[in-house]
Amino acid sequence: MGLLAASAFVAWVVHTSYVYISYDKIVSAKDAAISARDQASLTLRGKLDDSRRSFAAATDLLEKNHKGLVTLIGQNQSLKSNLSAVRQDLKQIAEARRKAEDAKREISTRLAVLESHLENTHRHNKALAQDLKTTGSELTVALAEKNQVQQTGNTLNNRVSKLEKRLVEAQEAQAALLDRVADTSHAEAKRLTKILVSAGLNVKKLLRAQGVGPAPQGGPFEAAPKSRGSKEEETIEASLTGANGMIDHLEGLQRIVRGLPLASPLDYYYVSSRYGIRKDPISNTKAMHRGVDLGAKHRAPVFSSAPGKVIYAGWKGHFGRFVEIDHGNGVTTRYGHLRRINVKREQTITYRTKIGQMGNSGRSTGTHLHYEIHVNKRSVDPLRFMKAGKNVFKG
């Protein structure tokens, strides 16, 4: 009887030890699973931080590009219509970024819930050891939540990749648009330069007087080595620099053209005597004619051919009633044989200001306007300027 009791006691001790050891292994496995889940959560947080930094960088880049385009739009009104499509793309990117931010906030909320579950798990380790079935169920739920969070993270990463791709496409579109602006400005600048040269003007000298350097140089873009920015950023920066330089050059030419006497001083006229050596109509001998005689009806209004300042208004010998206007850049115009003068000396006038009436005053054989243009105190053929002006207005 004692032997049977001893055997039963030994069996009970062995069974108790085995159960204790089994429970201890299960608890150890549980702790290991919890540690793995903690590590996964830390990894997911790192990925989320990387995503936030990527979004912040993309946001800064979009803001810089947007500011650059706004500046360019202010410089050239015609660019507005071309930039509308880019703005629409940027709005779509901003909307996509907002959706991605919403997704990030959702992930943050789920991470907070998961962290709360982890804290509860740590506080109830002893209770889990007593109730393995309940603990296993909770672990299953936690693992399912972890998998769901990972899936959400993968979805977010895919969205970030798509946004980055769209950002690159928008940057490429911006660079192409800026290149088109530069090409258009270059073509117009080339046309105006050709017209000014045809009028006998030194374009480089006039541009220097405006504080504008030579036309910017172009060529294919190649990223410099060891650059801190991306290739797309450098491409846009190079295109923006080139477009700004070309627009500045074109605006300088346009200012020069607006200040030059390229228009006719009369609405309707015919050329009665050209510039150069001719047979003098009064002495019948060869003489230098430093202007052009324009015929029209008596009292026809005479207009300034460009804005400027009146430096002479009154009687001037053989010129009769005479007006001289300084247009800047060494360019002056003269109007002789007027019947009446409508401006005063030192008066600032605008383009096509009525300065007088056609007449026959001074040394003249009949009603006409003697019209001269001087560049740096040397007379030039006014018809060359008037012909160049027709090309400018045609463009």
Same domain, 59 and 80: yes
CA distances to 65, 68, 100, 164 from 95, in Å: 17, 21, 9, 14
- The answer to whether residue 183 sits within a structural domain is yes
Q: Are 234 and 222 in contact (CB under 8 A)?
A: no
Could you list the residue range(s) of the whole structural domain that residue 242 is in?
A: 2-216+233-257
Place of tokens 């889940």: 37
Secondary structure of the chain: what % helix, strand, coil (to 5)? 60, 15, 20
Rounded to an integer, what is the distance from CA 201 to the centroid of its chain?
32
**291 and 338 share one domain:** yes
User: Does residue 72 belong to any structural domain of this protein?
Assistant: yes
Residues 249 and 287 in one domain: no
Q: Where are the beta strands (DSSP E) in 205-330?
A: 270-273, 276-279, 286-289, 292-295, 301-303, 308-315, 321-326
Q: What is the pLDDT along the chain (395 residues), one digit of tens a residue?
A: 677 777 777 777 777 777 777 777 777 888 888 888 888 778 888 888 887 888 788 778 877 877 776 676 677 667 667 667 767 877 888 887 888 788 788 878 887 887 787 787 677 767 766 766 665 676 677 678 778 877 887 888 888 788 877 777 777 776 777 667 667 666 666 677 777 776 667 777 777 766 666 655 555 656 555 555 566 666 667 666 666 666 777 676 777 888 899 999 999 999 999 999 998 888 888 898 999 999 999 999 999 999 999 999 999 999 999 999 999 989 999 999 999 999 999 999 999 999 999 999 999 999 999 999 999 999 999 999 999 888 765 55
pLDDT tens, residue by residue, 71-91 = 766 776 676 676 677 678 778
| Parallel/antiparallel/unpaired status of strands 292-295 and 286-289 | unpaired
Q: Is residue 222 part of a domain?
A: no
Residue 310: which CATH number?
2.70.70.10
Q: Are residues 324 and 183 in the same domain?
A: no
Q: Say if residue 290 is in the same domain as residue 339.
A: yes
State the total domains in the chain. Answer: 2
Round to whole Å and give the CA distance between 6 and 333.
135
Query: Do 268 and 283 form a contact (C-beta atoms < 8 A)?
Result: no
Contacts of residue 200, defined as CB under 8 A and 6 or more positions apart, other chains included, come to: 375, 380, 381, 384
- For residue 72, with 0-12 CB atoms within 10 Å meaning exposed, 13-18 middle and 19 or more buried, which class applies? buried
Q: Nearest CA to 289 among 318, 330, 328?
A: 318
Does one domain contain both 289 and 372? yes
Please, what is the end-to-end C-alpha distance for the chain in angstroms?
126
Both tokens assigned to 322 = 């005479």
In tens, the pLDDT along 20-69 reads 777 777 778 888 888 888 887 788 888 888 878 887 887 788 778 777 76
Check whether residue 171 and residue 294 sit in a common domain.
no
Residues 249 and 347 placed together within one structural domain of the fold? no
Domain match, 162 and 281 both: no
Within a domain: 393: no
